[in-house]
């Protein structure tokens, strides 16, 4: 992707790399442009996204496990934490793919 295409994609979906939310990935997936987004990321951006989404997951998961059980019935986790976990797994998978690609590229250079 060109720099312009990357910027257009991020602008279209109001993606702020400094304040990334798991819902940004969900929106891209619904629009079928997630693959394009993955291709636009640098390794550093992917790690930043993973960190931000991980923080969202940790906050919600802690809220569920440490909160009043009357306020957080079992289906609350399924509705509010599980979707973040799914997105986090997708990001981890993509990050792993990026690292594998870097390893392959380095081995080809030798």
pTM above 0.95, yes or no: no
**What per-residue confidence (pLDDT) applies to 110?**
58
Measured between alpha carbons, how far is residue 57 from residues 53, 93, 102, 106 in Å? 6, 16, 28, 33
- DSSP string spanning the chain? --HHHHHHHHHHTT--TTS--HHHHHHHHHTT-HHHHHHH--HHHHHHHHHHHHHHHHHHHHHHHHS-TTTS-HHHHHHHTHHHHHHHHHHHHHHHHHHHHHHHHHHHH-
**What per-residue confidence (pLDDT) applies to 56?**
94
Q: Encode the chain (110 residues) as per-residue pLDDT tens digits.
A: 788 887 887 787 777 878 888 888 888 887 777 888 888 888 998 999 999 999 999 999 999 999 888 888 889 999 999 999 999 999 999 999 999 988 888 777 65
Measured in whole angstroms, how far is the alpha carbon of residue 108 from the centre of its chain?
29
**What per-residue confidence (pLDDT) applies to 54?**
96
Per domain, the residue ranges of the chain are 3-109
């Amino acid at each position: 992707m060109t720099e312009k295409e990357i910027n257009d994609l991020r602008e279209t979906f109001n993606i702020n790399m400094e304040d990334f939310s798991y819902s940004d990935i969900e929106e891209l997936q619904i629009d079928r442009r997630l693959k394009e987004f993955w291709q636009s990321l640098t390794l550093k951006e992917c790690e930043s996204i993973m960190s931000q989404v991980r923080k969202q997951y940790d906050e919600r998961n802690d809220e569920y496990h440490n909160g009043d059980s009357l306020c957080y019935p079992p289906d609350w986790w399924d509705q509010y934490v599980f979707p973040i976990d799914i997105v986090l797994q997708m990001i981890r998978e993509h990050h792993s793919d990026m690292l594998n690609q870097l390893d392959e590229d380095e081995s080809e250079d030798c």
